Amino acid sequence: MSSGNPQVSGKMSETPSTSFSMIYPTSSEGQLPSSHHLSITHPVVAKRISFYKSGDPQFGGVRVVVNPRSFKTFDALLDNLSRKVPLPFGVRNISTPRGRHSITSLEDLEDGESYLCSHGRKVQPVDLDKARRRRRPWHSSLAITAHAHHSPAPAAAPGMLRAPRRLVVFRNGDPKTRRVVVLTKRVTQSFEAFLRHLTEVMQRPVTRLYATDGRKVPSLQAVILSSGAVVAAGREPFKPGNYDIQKYLLPARLPGISHRVHPKGNARSESRKSGNWKVSIITSDLPNAGTSSQIYIILYGQHRSSAPIYLYGTDGARFQDGCEDIFTTDTFSLEAVHLGDLYKIVIGHDGLGPGNGWFLEDVVVKDPTTNREYAFFCHRWLDQGEDDGKIVRELYARDYNIISARQKLEFNRKETWAAESWKFMKGNTLQFYNRLTGGFVRLHPNGTVDAVGKKADKYGLFDVIFNKENICIFQSHKIRHLSLALDNGSVAGMASGGASTKLRVLYQPNRCALLESALVPGHTVIFDHHGKIANESSAGYANLSKEFVVFVKGMFLNSAVVLLATSLCQALCIQPDGSCTGVGNQSEKSYWKVHKISSGICMFESVKNAQMYLRIKDGQCDGTGTGDIDCHFKIKKNLENASISLESVKNPGLFVGLQSDGQAKPVIYTKNGSVFFYPQVIKFGREDPTGISATPSKEEEKIRGSKKRQETPPESEARGPLLSSTAKEISETLLSEDEWKVLVLTGNTGTQANVTLWVYGDEGVTGPISLSKDSSEQLFLPRQEDEFQIEIRNIGIIYKIRIGHDGTSEQPEWNLQRVTMQHIKSKKTLDFAVNVWLSRIQGDGDLVCELPVVEGGQAIFPLVRYHVDVHTGQLKQAETESEVSLCLFGERGDSGLRLLYKSNMPVKFQRGQIDTFQVEAVSLGKLQKVLLRCEASDKSQYWYCEKVVVRESGTTSESTFTCERWLPFMSQGIIHSEIELFLQEMQINHQPKIQEGANEGDWKVTVITGDLEDAGTTATVSLSVYGETRCSGPIILGSGKHQLFNSNSADIFKINLKDIGEIYKIRIGHDNRGKDPRWYLEEIRLENIATRELFCLTVDSWIAENENGGDTWKEMPVVRTNKAPLPVVAYEIYVYTGRKPGAETESNVFINLIGTRGDSGNRRLHQSKNNKVKFQRGQVDIFSIEAVSLGKLKKVLISHNGIGPGNGWFLESIVVKSEEEDGNQEVLFPCNSRWLDEYQDDGKTERELLAERSFSAAGDTGSVAS
């Protein structure tokens, strides 16, 4: 029954551990001051293990002895290795030598083996034989700053570091406050000792160090390898500033020769001294690629690294577009001699000067002693307003020379254009998204242009009406006589066809496009961060952007044929065995035919292998689908790179992803690129603008006017070489089942506004559907009935519709008389008698109305008038003049987003005011939440909303939705203009304003999320508080989907714990849902509002399924001054599955331990310590959970969720073992060989098992169940 050391296998978790924190440093041996992690079933066995650095064969490795005494937790080992292995963010991941499998527990480490350390999920294998031959630098007191020899070096040898190194230390957020620290042996005994020294020097607490670009410096090795400057902080996060180290370090100047080379010309002779290095910097020939900022470089060799070396020119015109600058170095003042073989450089600039952005092509460094050239390829911006915003890059050496590098870069540009050029074919309709502004480029009727448009903005669409190579004319889709133009450096709308309207498209390797004037090369379309037109001479160049992500409208219409590219030359395709891979050639075998199911939902059928569909089923992603719901995918468009991600409709949260070997698999959404596909349209579902024959789609959601509709000739279908006959038959069937005719009768007043329809059923909703026609026929004229044909799929029985318009045009008012819907096949008719004004000045002032389906003369659900009271807060400047919209959500759908237009007050949303509005909608049932949106143009119009209270007409019951925050609000650098507010009884609170007059039992709860990368969660977080009298039960604090629990943030909630008694423990965790549920919780604080009693509970741990045994809950005891806290106990759970045929299960199993001091809560038994596959017939599985001491165990609740092909389970018994200060405990909970199966025994999948016996069992680990 011992767990042993399980072998690493392909089924090991692929998500590496990231449980690393420098917030509370442990001792130098990695021990933590707690005793509850001690194992009682495993002997103390020492393992001697070697650890190497990912991707760095120059690192000689470190040997560590691992046993339960030296490292009680896996986190302690990571912490210890972070001091010994020089990684930028410390050691966060340990993996097998080839990087295939991650190690997540001490038990997985094997004696005598070697492992790789990395700070991220990606691991680069190394040649361990080569690495083992390297001398380990930390064996010497001159660890990084001098190379080691077995024999002593001459005392006066040039280049050997004898004087200690200097380090500039800045105060966080205050670059003017800095100190120069000498790294002596005394102050660098340990990282903790160094922090204490800095506390004295800076005269303020120093607990964290950052590099000047904001990266954490987690260890002493990282300090020594730093660029010569660090930023000292306390508990607060990094604060950006101008941390300029140039005049404080005074490193060796590089006397600039700064030759202008086109191509490479004669460089200065290198015969000065043997220690002279030559550095060649190649700047891109892209427009405005040069920089006037101060450039610096740091060289890293196998023995040591140089200090920052500043590159100075002599003619004042260095680093210009398309030029090569050559610098000859001196001996770096003893800082660069004997570097050994170079393996990387760090290059950056200070971000100062009017043109500080820089596009660096590559760097070549020549070693004077060996004449060897090292090439470092970049081909990226170092620009705060371009690319990823970084102005420092870490580049690794390559083996080929500069000529091949430039050829490669030029080829990369051509390759990118070849992959993206299809977007600019004549006839395509495009959108240009600007990542800096977060909006789309739009051209207004008055000719002005900005970049703050929404995705659905009609002025943000542009038609390609001219195309010659990469020169295009982009005509406004809405305003046909205007096109996007660049005239004298200014962007505007001008008459189509003029020279100024011809723009050259220049693609970057990041798949973003520049729009350059064809008439005046170098002039490009540029916007500032407000979305306004700018130019290169504008102040604040870092806040300008000229890169655009280009989107094509109508890519996924029915019968379109697309390529889902995974790189510039590879694509997703089906293999002969039915599996899917992302490394297929971009050829016909990688073509997919689109079958549109509904808005944003499609199926993908292989063109080469008809009737084979992409699908996700049973944890697999392949191409053997048959067209059922397993093959339905929701298309998620990624604005940042014009890619798409495919989410399973049947299994929400699972996306089509790629493994490292290219094989497709279902994955949870991440931003690492494994779920990104770049679509290329081979054949459009409508008439193809490139001239290739195409069949117009019959399933297309676009609305067609039936009076003008023409049937496609059969011979046209025959000409489409990529269509399968089976697909055509399916299309015909779907047409008859899902096509509806919609008749709209206008009253005495018509409208020219854009009209939209939504249709609600008991299984879903279709919409918004734009009621428009391709012809120039005028719609919605007085007393006219307009006919449309729409497609409605998979929404079940229709119970209501919503129809309205956008209030645009010169005639927005509309008198709507009647709407009629008729199913084309069955002739079933739904009549909606309306006779209502949709107008701001007539009727209720609403532009939208809802209509219920009527059966037998009575509406299925009644129309309800909701009275909405909006409370503006009392805070200073809480009022707003901005537009505020609201959407009500209930158990029967939503009301749609309604503009709060007509208030009972003369001026809306004033400080301390209550505005009452009316929203008429088909009864929503019990209200669950509201969505509140405030579109504010600037901060002076931000609005502080206290709460929203909703009540139905004729009733006294109210639903209260607490807000208590500003709108819009910023989270993780993104401004959010809307927020979801949940019903107050659900206890989801957003930053409540804690008032003096609190209710009895009110507590303020502060939840602090750590500042590690990706520390935030998308899951829903719950809290349980245990008192001597009772337990609060689970209190839902909120969901990360609602901008809570973000990295490096504190969220405040108010809860009521009346009559709970003296609190002795809490439990906090999450439901593991959402795209990225893992969460790093730093601390939780509870404060009694009335008595000011405060408890601070430190967690500093990941709460995730791939960390710490997979438990998504943490229990902490409350520490009081008058009594000792209860210990946290590790409970070992032995689960005995019976031997009957079919006894095993694949379901998720949960357990709740119940003792004399409460319960553990429902915990998932996630990771078996002794078996790779859990709950197999006749098997014993061992699990471990941690909980605050439960006292004497009385019973357990065991259950499963019934998911999986073999969900029934035959359980024999459970044994729980624990070790506490007052003795060991081993308790048997017999199940008496019962089924937990809804189809066997009594049909129950949950059982309560009572303790049979309890006894001290020190050393007794034998079987207790037959």
Q: What pLDDT is attached to residue 137?
A: 36
Q: Half-sphere exposure of residue 157, counting CA atoms within 13 Å on the CB side?
A: 12
Q: For residues 278 and 767, what is the distance between their CA atoms, to the nearest angstrom?
A: 64
pLDDT above 80 (res 1164): yes
Share of the chain above pLDDT 70, in %: 77
Between 285 and 1015, whose confidence is greater? Answer: 1015
pLDDT above 70 (res 1050): yes
Q: What pLDDT is attached to residue 353?
A: 52
Q: What pLDDT is attached to residue 295?
A: 81
Range list of β-strands (E), 936-1019: 943-952, 959-967, 969-971, 974-976, 978-982, 1002-1009
Q: What pLDDT is attached to residue 522?
A: 79
Going by pLDDT thresholds of 50, 70 and 90, the confidence category of residue 671 is: low
Q: What pLDDT is attached to residue 930?
A: 92
| Dihedral pair phi/psi, residue 1206, rounded to 5° | -115, 80
Rg (CA), the chain: 34
pLDDT above 70 (res 385): no
For residue range 1249-1259, list pLDDT tens digits in order.
999 854 444 33
Going by pLDDT thresholds of 50, 70 and 90, the confidence category of residue 877 is: confident
Q: What pLDDT is attached to residue 917?
A: 93
Reduced to 3 states (helix: H, G, I; strand: E, B; else coil), residue 198 is: helix
Going by pLDDT thresholds of 50, 70 and 90, the confidence category of residue 1215 is: very high
Between 59 and 1150, whose confidence is greater? Answer: 1150
Q: What pLDDT is attached to residue 870?
A: 95
Q: What pLDDT is attached to residue 948?
A: 94
* Mean pLDDT lowest among 85-99, 541-555, 686-700: 686-700
Going by pLDDT thresholds of 50, 70 and 90, the confidence category of residue 703 is: very low
Reduced to 3 states (helix: H, G, I; strand: E, B; else coil), residue 305 is: strand
Q: What pLDDT is attached to residue 1152?
A: 93
For residue range 102-139, list pLDDT tens digits in order.
888 888 888 888 999 887 777 778 878 777 765 433 33
pLDDT above 60 (res 307): yes
Q: What pLDDT is attached to residue 759?
A: 92
Q: What pLDDT is attached to residue 1264?
A: 37
Q: For residues 1150 and 1166, what is the distance between their CA atoms, to the nearest angstrom?
A: 9
Chain-centre distance for alpha carbon 580 = 25
Between 706 and 952, whose confidence is greater? Answer: 952
Alpha-carbon torsion, ordered 527, 533, 534, 540, to 10 deg: -60
Q: What pLDDT is attached to residue 632?
A: 94
Between 145 and 1140, whose confidence is greater? Answer: 1140
Which among 356, 186, 366 has a CA at the least distance from the CA of 276?
366
Going by pLDDT thresholds of 50, 70 and 90, the confidence category of residue 267 is: very low
Average pLDDT over residues 720-745: 56
pTM over 0.95, yes/no: no
* Mean pLDDT lowest among 52-66, 510-524, 635-649, 702-716: 702-716
pLDDT above 90 (res 850): yes
Average pLDDT over residues 731-754: 77
Please answer whether residues 82 and 112 qualify as being in contact, where contact means their C-beta atoms are separated by less than 8 angstroms: no
Q: How far is CA 723 from CA 279, 691, 876, in A?
A: 58, 17, 64
Going by pLDDT thresholds of 50, 70 and 90, the confidence category of residue 538 is: low
Q: What pLDDT is attached to residue 1046?
A: 83
Q: Across all residues in the chain, what is the average pLDDT?
A: 77
Going by pLDDT thresholds of 50, 70 and 90, the confidence category of residue 536 is: low
Average pLDDT over residues 1159-1174: 89
Between 338 and 1179, whose confidence is greater? Answer: 1179
Between 36 and 873, whose confidence is greater? Answer: 873
The 3-state secondary structure of 734-774, one letter per residue: HHHHHEEEEEEEECCCCCCCCEEEEEEECCEEEEEEECCCC
Q: What pLDDT is attached to residue 1052?
A: 84
For residue range 58-102, list pLDDT tens digits in order.
777 888 888 877 787 888 888 888 878 877 667 888 988 877 778
Average pLDDT over residues 267-271: 34
Share of the chain above pLDDT 90, in %: 22
Going by pLDDT thresholds of 50, 70 and 90, the confidence category of residue 539 is: very low
Which among 584, 561, 560 has a CA at the least distance from the CA of 572?
584
pLDDT above 70 (res 247): no
Average pLDDT over residues 1024-1041: 86
DSSP H or E stretch at residue 581:
strand 580-585
Going by pLDDT thresholds of 50, 70 and 90, the confidence category of residue 721 is: very low
Q: For residues 835 and 412, what is the distance between their CA atoms, to the nearest angstrom?
A: 62
* Mean pLDDT lowest among 354-368, 742-756, 791-805, 1054-1068: 354-368
Q: What pLDDT is attached to residue 29?
A: 35
Q: What pLDDT is attached to residue 35?
A: 36
Average pLDDT over residues 1147-1169: 89
Between 774 and 898, whose confidence is greater? Answer: 898
Q: What pLDDT is attached to residue 187?
A: 83
Q: What pLDDT is attached to residue 275?
A: 55
Q: What pLDDT is attached to residue 23?
A: 30
Structure-block tokens of residue 466: 């001219």
Going by pLDDT thresholds of 50, 70 and 90, the confidence category of residue 1187 is: very high
Going by pLDDT thresholds of 50, 70 and 90, the confidence category of residue 359 is: confident
Average pLDDT over residues 32-56: 60
Q: How far is CA 1221 from CA 36, 1189, 1224, 1228, in A?
A: 10, 11, 8, 21
pLDDT above 80 (res 155): no
Q: For residues 952 and 930, what is the distance between their CA atoms, to the nearest angstrom?
A: 15
Going by pLDDT thresholds of 50, 70 and 90, the confidence category of residue 731 is: very low
Please answer whether residues 966 and 879 qualify as being in contact, where contact means their C-beta atoms are separated by less than 8 angstroms: no
Which among 853, 807, 862 has a CA at the least distance from the CA of 831?
853
Between 979 and 339, whose confidence is greater? Answer: 979
Going by pLDDT thresholds of 50, 70 and 90, the confidence category of residue 772 is: confident
pLDDT above 90 (res 1179): yes
Structure-block tokens of residue 1173: 């596959």
Please answer whether residues 1052 and 992 qualify as being in contact, where contact means their C-beta atoms are separated by less than 8 angstroms: yes
